[in-house]
Structure formats: structure tokens, C-alpha cells
Structure 1
Amino acid sequence: MSKTYNVGVIGYGLSAKIFHIPFINDSPRFALHSIVQRTPKPTDDASADWPNTKTHRSADDLLADKDIDIVVLTTTPDSHAPLATQAMRAGKHVLVEKPFTPTSSEAQHLCQLAKDNNVLLTVYQNRRWDADFLTLKSLLDDGSLGRIVEFETHFDRHRPEMPSAQSWKTDPASYSAVFDLGTHLMDQVVSVYGLPERITGFVGTQRQHNTTGLEDSFTALLHYSGGMLATCKAAVVSPEETQLRFWVRGEKGSFKKFGLDPQEDQLKAGLRPGESGYGIESEERHGALSSVMDGSGKVERRTVRPVESIGYTAFYEQFAKALDARDEKLVPVEPGVAAGVIRLCELMRRSSVEGKTLVV
């Protein structure tokens, strides 16, 4: 019989409630054992939401529990390295929410610590399991696009006003769009092509009344051997009815897609994995493939049906396989790759300050 792994979740914010607990509960391979919530409120109390689950006020109490196999970190990024270190030294496998760590040196240290303590470590780069990205990968794999020359991945929104709610994501000392959305976009590119040879970064703010210096937007150009250029871009001033998501161009064809994968919005609306309609995108949001017709030079355009996918559930299923085999090469996101993405974030910001392209 397959082992069921007991999971302890540290932090009880949006990430825990939307991106982790629904998938832990959806899988027969995992059991939600404990939650750390330091300051519950009458309308936000993990013990009330999950009465059959242990709740703690400190990470120390959770990590002392020998019944817990896996720790999921959903706390602010500055706490990831110390909490992951503490958890791995306690013999726990660790899943870290993105961004992995604030610095690549911390990320590399955690990679080594996992090896030293014979535990598995992975990072929640869940957008590798967006249906549109999986569809794009299938087109790359079957050669529909030919040799790729430009790969654009966007996360643009129209939010020209500064956020009113105060959180770590509005604190410029703690937050940068580079380490938030940038890790998603660059991870998708790196998961397909590996690290680039060079990077050019443009980081700053697009908001007119940004008195805090919060980095709300960026463009990263990833230069690959053979001439391919990958553009990763996030904007907060982009008044479009439907935002561009992907535009990938090759010698045989191009793939263009508008709108985000629906899973995040569905989860926020209360839909759960496995329920009817989960992960299914409306037809008007499907991407389009433009193909060069052999011999004629004409271009034919057709809508591409998304590949069948179980969405972010696949991340946890792959993690279970890695845990069964105790094989670090089977984790859904290798921590060394995630550390490389953090290095790209650092170089992007440095490139922007220095005004030059940097060697990776």
C-alpha cells in the first residue's frame, strides 16, 4: 500500500488556503496534519476552518512533531531560508513557496542542506502546470513552430494605482515584481531551455504616484546561444481588454495566447481540483497557431485546443513519486534550477542599475 505523507503547513494566508491545502486534501497520498497560524482572528482562524487538524502558534511546535513528514512553507520570502533550514535539520522534507529565497546564496545553501540531511526539497513553481504553457510545450516538442527565434511570456495587468491594502507585497524592502511574477515567467523559460548565456534587465515602476520606490514592473531579455531571445515582462499599466500571455515565433509557425490560465481565479472563487469545470478554459481564450504552408509561403491560422491536464494537482502527484523513491531528481521542481532562477532575478536588477547586459 502506498504511504500517506503527513503535511504541516507553516503560514495561513492566501498561498496556504488557495494554492496548497486544496491540493493536499485532493490527494490520497497526503494528509493535512498541522497548520501554524501565529495570530488567528475571529474571521480567519485555521482551527475553525479545519477542526480535525492540529494548529500551532509557532513553527517550533510543529517541527517538534515526529509524525510530520513534509513541511510546506507559505510564509513571507525572508523567512524561507531560516524555516527551511530548521525543518530539514529536523528531518522533514520541504516544499517552499516561490520566490524560493531572497538571494541565490541562500538558495544554494538550502540545496546543499537537503543533500546533507538526506531529505527532499522542492519549490512551488506551479505555473509550469498552466494549461496554456503545457499546450505551448507540446507545440515545441512536436516541431510545429520549428526553430524558435523569439519567446515572449507576459504577466501584464492594468493597475495604475498603488495598492491600498498594506502587506509585505507593498513594502519595497520586502517585495519586488522581479522576485514575484519574474520567478514564474523566467522559470517557465528555464524549464524548457535552461539558463541563458546573458541577461538584460529593465526594472522599475510604471505607476505615476509611487512614492515608496516599489518595483512594480520589469522586462528581462534572456539571450540564448543560436540567437533565440526570450522576453519576460510584467506591467501594471496595460489597458487591454485581454492581456497577451504568450507569443512564441519560429521558422515554421508562431503561437499566440491571450489571458491567464483559469486555475487561480477558479480557486479564489471556491472551485476545487477535481470538481466539474476546474482547470477548463473558455474557448475564446484558446491560443492560436499560425503555420507556414509548405511550398506556398502562405500562413494558415487555427485555434489550438489546450492539452488535457489535471493542473496544479500534477505538482503534488509528482512530489509523491519523488518521496516514494526518495529521489531528488524526481521532485517536480529541482531546487538547483529554482536557485538558478533566483540568480537571474539578481542579475536582472543589477543589469537595470548598471545599464548593461550581463553574462550569466
Structure 2
Amino acid sequence: MASAPARIRVGLIGYGYAGRTFHAPLIRAVPALDLRVVASSDPAKVWADLPGLAVLTDPATVATSEDVDLVVIASPNDTHAPLAQIALEAGKHIVVDKPFTLDLAEARGLVALTRRQGRMLSVFHNRRWDSDYLSVRRAIAEGVIGKVRHFESHFDRFRPQVRDRWREGAGPGGGIWYDLGPHLVDQALQLFGLPDRVTANLARLRPGALSDDWAHVVLEYRDLRVVLQASMLVAGGSSRFVVHGEAGSLIKERSDIQEQQLLAGMAPGAPGWGEDPDGIAIHDGSGAVAHAPAVVGDQRRYYADLARQLVQGVVESSAALESLQVMACLEAALIAARTGTSVALTLTPGEQDASGCG
């Protein structure tokens, strides 16, 4: 009998909100992955959740450890590029939490290094496996509202008080557009491919805000407009998705529940995991409304797919190219908001090949 393939040894850098809430539980839920070590400035916090796990305070040591095959970078945004470079130069495969980097130039440098090293680079776009997005994607693919002409996606929070944390600070990579914008952009590109141009408006609406806490971005296509909205001042009443097509409209009211389940301590894959009680409402234009059940979400699939590729020895370039495209849209929105203009993406023909459309 052939022996089972070796498990992929994982080092996780960062045990803040993203590392603790998402990465560690999802990694541990995939049998092919073996979480070996965490880099954290607060070892006690790690050991409270993961007793006995190796914890180091120096991220670079984890990024270069001989006991690690895959380095997951879930540290503050301005550390993503330098830590990714260290890990790649040490011959590691890498996962980088969103946003990939601070700008497109940094992203290009890392993609080039990835190719030279023959390693895998993937950005943690876990929201591709959210029930809300999967439900809307299925309905669009089935043609229930015909050709889509208007697509509206909201990713909102209600946090009226500014928190003392780097995500809301004035430093590089802070603000809601770099926090939630990558999810909004990535989902849109997966559905529709690259836009022709981008327009944007970013604002600070909360008293004492140090970085943008409201974003309204429009991706412009020849016969489609994609509206991406994020805010820290939405207490309710705003639909997650609103989509209008030539044969009708669809509404997805509530968001995926996996983040709430993780925060409540539910193990990924436990009974009820990702099950969304809020289906889709489909309006046909005559006043009739049909309802379709939501697709079950499962963010474990992000790490399961990545582990499968690594176990099989497959190194795909599409994930790295898709990460460049997301960064190009994020950066174009920043320029558009600053200049008040409509901005084209600055991608080369080669960088446009893996649009992820369809």
C-alpha cells in the first residue's frame, strides 16, 4: 500500500484578528495542513487557544524556518511585502492576507520573485467561498435575471467609535478600502473580469477618523456598472447584494455567517457550518417574487484547494496574476478618489490574461 502524502507544514505569522479568527482555525480544519509554528508578540494569547504549539516572537525566523513549507502572512499590511520577500527567498510557498501589498509596484516585484523561485503565491481571498457570494454567482450563471447590467455589493460594519488599531490608523495600508475593498474587488473580478476604468470616492465620516471609513467605488465596463460600497456606519437595512439584469433583479439581504460562527468558537465543518438561512429574492418585473435557497458557504475550501495543489506538486501562476489585478483596481480607486477622475488600470497585456472571468 502506498504511503499517504506528507502533510504541508505551515508557519503562521501574526495572531491578531485575521490570524486568530480565520487562518488558524481554517488551517487546522484541513487534514493535509499541519500548523507547526506561530509568530506572535503575545505567546500567551496563542497558547490560550493552541496549547503547546511552538510560538516565536520573530516573524523572520518563522518565514525562514526549515520546519515550514508554507508561510502564511497575517501581520499588519505594511509588513506583507518585506515578509513575503524573506519567505520566498528562503524557498517557501506563501499565503498573504489581503491586501496583498501596499501598491502595484510591490505586488509586481513579489510575483516576479515567485516565478524565479518556482514557488506558489496566493492571497487570502477567502470570501470567494461565502454563502452570499456563491448564491449570487449561481443565480447569475443560471441566467435567472438575464444579462447583468448593474451589480451592487456592500461590505459594511457598524463601528461608530474609532478604535486604536492599525487597520483604522493613519499609517500605510490603513483604512476601510484596503481592509474590505480587496474582498469586494476580488469577487467582482471573479464574476465579470477586469473593468475598463475605475471611479471612486473615499471619505472619513466618523469623528476622529484617521483613515477612510467610507468607500464608494464604481468599476466601469462597456455595458455594466459594478458598485462597490463599504462603510463603518451601517447599523442595518442595507442589502449585501443588489443585482439588476435584462430579465429581472435579485436581492441577497444578509451576509455570510462564517465569520460570526468562528468568533463564537464553532469549528469549521461542524454541523451548521456555513449554512445560510437567508436565500435570494428574485424579482421578475411583473410584481412576482421568487425565492431561492442560499448556497452553503465553506471557507475551508480556500486552504483545501491550496493544499491539494501543493501535495500534487502543482505551482499555478493564475493566483499570483489575479492578485496583481486586484491590486491594480485598489490602486486605481485610490488615484481616482484623489484626482476626481476616471482611471484606467495600468496592467500590461500579460498581466491581464488571468482575469478570473466566469
* TM-score over 0.5 (shorter chain): yes
Partner of 1:337: 322
Q: Is the 8 A contact 2:64 2:86 kept in 1?
A: no
Q: Work out whether 1:352 is the aligned partner of 2:347.
A: no
Q: Work out whether 1:143 is the aligned partner of 2:130.
A: no
Partner of 2:77: 77
- Residue number among 8, 28, 31 corresponding to 2:11 in the alignment: 8
Give the letter aligned to residue 305 of structure 1.
P
Q: Percent same amino acid among aligned pairs?
A: 30
Q: Is the 8 A contact 1:147 1:252 kept in 2?
A: yes
Aligned-pair CA distance for 1:94: 0.3
* TM-score between both structures, scaled by the size of structure 2: 0.90
* TM-score between both structures, scaled by the size of structure 1: 0.90
Aligned-pair CA distance for 1:258: 1.2
Partner of 2:307: 320
Partner of 1:244: 239
Partner of 1:177: 176
Q: Is the 8 A contact 1:145 1:252 kept in 2?
A: yes
Give the letter aligned to residue 292 of structure 2.
V
Q: 1:252 to 1:271 in 2, by over 3 A?
A: same
Partner of 1:269: 264
Q: Is the 8 A contact 2:8 2:311 kept in 1?
A: no
3-state secondary structure, aligned to 1:155: strand
Aligned-pair CA distance for 1:178: 1.1
Partner of 1:231: 227
Q: Is the 8 A contact 2:274 2:296 kept in 1?
A: no
Unaligned runs of 5+ in 2: 346-358
Aligned-pair CA distance for 1:213: 3.9
CA distance in 2 between counterparts of 1:239 and 1:97 reads: 27
Aligned-pair CA distance for 1:122: 0.1
CA distance in 1 between counterparts of 2:317 and 2:301 reads: 13
Aligned-pair CA distance for 1:235: 2.1
Aligned-pair CA distance for 1:330: 7.7
Q: 1:131 to 1:239 in 2, by over 3 A?
A: closer
Deviations 1:35-56 (A, max 9, x none): 111244xxx4324532332211
Q: How many residues align?
A: 341
3-state secondary structure, aligned to 1:27: coil
Unaligned runs of 5+ in 1: 293-297
Q: Is the 8 A contact 2:118 2:315 kept in 1?
A: no
3-state secondary structure, aligned to 1:45: helix
Q: 1:238 to 1:260 in 2, by over 3 A?
A: same
Deviations 1:270-320 (A, max 9, x none): 1111111111123xx32211235xxxxx343112101244x1011011101
Q: Is the 8 A contact 1:322 1:330 kept in 2?
A: no
Partner of 2:293: 305
Q: 1:52 to 1:158 in 2, by over 3 A?
A: closer
Q: Is the 8 A contact 1:69 1:93 kept in 2?
A: yes
Aligned-pair CA distance for 1:347: 1.4
Give the letter aligned to residue 203 of structure 1.
L
